[in-house]
Amino acid sequence: MQPKDTIETMRSLIDSKIPTFLWGAPGIGKSSIIKQLAREKEIECIDLRLSLMDPTDLKGIPFYERDSHSALWAPPSFLPREGEGILFLDELNSAAPAVQASAYQLILDRRVGEYELPEGWAIVAAGNREGDRGVVYRLPSPLANRFVHIEMEVSADDWRTWAIGWGIDPRVIAYIAFNNSALFGFDPLKNERSFPTPRSWEAVHTILKSPLPKKLWLEAISGAVGRDAAVDFLGFVQVMDKLPDIEAILRGENNEVSEDLSTLYALSSALVSRLLLAPSDEAVSNVLRYSLHLKNEFAVMIVQDLQRQGVVMEHLDAFGEWVEAYAYLL
């Protein structure tokens, strides 16, 4: 399932309080989606890594109750007592079978020992697939049958939309737009420590924003996405360093264009990222008119990216000119 469809599906299942298991390869953003939905709904998200727990950590420990002369279970303090939110059981299938067994009752009956999950809380689990070379245990059938299972795939288009909105470095966005296959390169048959994933490209963004000297970028970025991807990416960055003056384009003072595809991908992403910092009517109009000089697919890509980020342009004369020029494509 594509990420945008995964988000829509998970949103509905969480609202309905249906226990859901989100599957996918490592580093593709499973945890980020759950936390994004919690922020969107303005509810709490408690992230429990069951792979780090013992069975008693979830069920609690017994203690002697003097008045009733009986043993009671003391539930752990990290489980919610009120309100609403998402109880996120990340890496559930990496937990030892005994820990998974302790989760049976919580997932099915919304209670374990003396503890009962408040009505406003939804249960979501996530994990890597068995073929992803991670430390995983096969889910027992009784536990697996308690979930609705959703498998998430990687989509370069969905990732670009997210990356633009989150202010990821334009050089990273442009490179992935130019080479979609570079977004995800995990091969479970290879024993690689570093490989490209949405999560590792976010790490590249952080490296580029850090004070690390450029002469050390290759080694650092190789440590995030692998040597081959790092070399290719840094070659692309050299193209971006030679782009036309973005500020002049936003002021309507530059109509310089290029026919080189890598340059056009870089330029399109740079224009969108810069424009989102201050999307005035004048700047948007100048970018729209500038896009009329570009290859058709890049003019359309710029407008689509801006609209997906909520930039309103339909009232502008320049947008009318743009629509007239590209009506045959729309």
Measured at the CA of 327, the angle between CA 265 and CA 301, to 5 degrees, comes to: 15
Together in a domain, 161 and 216: yes
Together in a domain, 319 and 250: yes
Note the pLDDT of residue 225: 96
CA-derived radius of gyration, the chain: 24
- Cβ-contact 62, 113 below 8 angstroms: no
Together in a domain, 93 and 240: no
Together in a domain, 288 and 167: yes
Phi and psi of 287, rounded to 5°?
Answer: -70, -40
Gap between the Cα atoms of 179 and 209, Å rounded: 22
Gap between the Cα atoms of 254 and 263, Å rounded: 16
Together in a domain, 99 and 214: no
**Average pLDDT by consecutive 10-residue portion of the chain (330 residues)?**
93 94 90 92 91 77 69 76 92 84 82 84 89 70 88 92 91 93 85 90 96 96 96 91 88 86 90 90 95 92 93 94 83
Show the domain range for 120: 3-151
Structural domain total, the chain: 2
Together in a domain, 47 and 95: yes
Final residue belonging to a domain, choices 136, 151, 166 = 151
User: Which two structure tokens, joined as six digits, stand for 188?
Assistant: 């479970």
Strands (DSSP E) contained in the chain are 20-23, 44-49, 61-65, 70-74, 84-90, 111-112, 115-116, 120-127, 148-151
Together in a domain, 196 and 99: no
Together in a domain, 128 and 171: no
Together in a domain, 195 and 132: no
Together in a domain, 268 and 160: yes
- What CATH number is associated with residue 68? 3.40.50.300
User: Which two structure tokens, joined as six digits, stand for 107?
Assistant: 């997932």
Together in a domain, 278 and 256: yes
The residues near 91 (Cβ < 8 Å, ≥ 6 apart) are: 49, 50, 51, 126, 127, 128
Final residue belonging to a domain, choices 151, 166, 187 = 151
Final residue belonging to a domain, choices 151, 172, 187 = 151
Together in a domain, 128 and 259: no
